[in-house]
Amino acid sequence: MSSIIFLLFLLGVVSANFKPEQEFEVKQTSLVNNGRGYTITEVGPLAVKDDPARYTIQNDLLSLGKKLLLLEKNQPLYEIKHKLGHLYQKWRITDARTGETLGTLKHRPSLIHDSYKLTSPKFGNYRISGNISGRTFSVKKGGVKIAEIHKKRLHLHDTYSVAIAAKQDPTVILLLAIGIDEIRQH
């Protein structure tokens, strides 16, 4: 068994070191401004210094169940909505323009660690696990770590750093970061 893992490591399928290419800061905005929203700023080496926040999250206050909208340069991209009536939280992700359901984020509670799962025919399947203190989350796709979400300490509002590996869609990982924060707040 260990020889198979070693072979996969040599082939690059299993990675010992996670090397992010993109980094973002996700910051919860004031509850006074239209409820709970977020600003997302690219902070890594690839960030454009003069570019304002490329992504934002808006809260839809008039929906039954929590509904958040991910905007890219003020254009609706994806919607993440809390599905009511489940023992454990489920959030449905849809295309904001077409209304097509793209996937479901589920919380999988455990005594040892926090666990989440995104199932999506469009994006693929993701597993997210966090440590007992709920500050660091590892995002894996196909058993390979592709992102890390870390909750920063000593901030007035919830603030996360999100590091994403090369060739990954940042919008999916950012939706996961927002979904985790929303689930942990309920």
Q: What is the DSSP string of 4-71?
A: HHHHHHHHTSS-SS--EEEEEEEEE--TTTTSS-EEEEE-STT--TT---SEEEEE-TTSSS-EEEEE
Q: Which pair of tokens denotes residue 133?
A: 């203190």
pLDDT at 6 over 60: no
Average pLDDT, the chain: 80
Write the pLDDT tens digit of every residue in 49-102.
Answer: 666 567 888 876 666 677 888 999 889 999 999 887 666 778 899 999 999 999
Q: Residue 13: what pLDDT? A: 41
pTM (2 d.p.)? 0.80
- Taking a C-beta distance cutoff of 8 angstroms, is the pair 63, 79 a contact? no
Write the pLDDT tens digit of every residue in 11-32.
Answer: 334 445 678 889 999 888 766 5
Three-state secondary-structure class, residue 98:
coil
Q: Residue 62: what pLDDT? A: 63
Q: What is the DSSP string of 95-154?
A: ETTT--EEEEEEE---SS-EEEEEEETTTEEEEEEE-TTS-EEEEEETTEEEEEEEEPSS
Write the pLDDT tens digit of every residue in 109-163.
Answer: 777 778 899 999 999 999 999 876 768 999 999 999 999 999 888 766 778 899 9
Q: Residue 7: what pLDDT? A: 38
* Percent of residues, the chain, with pLDDT higher than 90: 36
Categorize the per-residue pLDDT at 4 as very low, low, confident or very high, splitting at 50, 70 and 90.
very low
Q: Residue 45: what pLDDT? A: 74
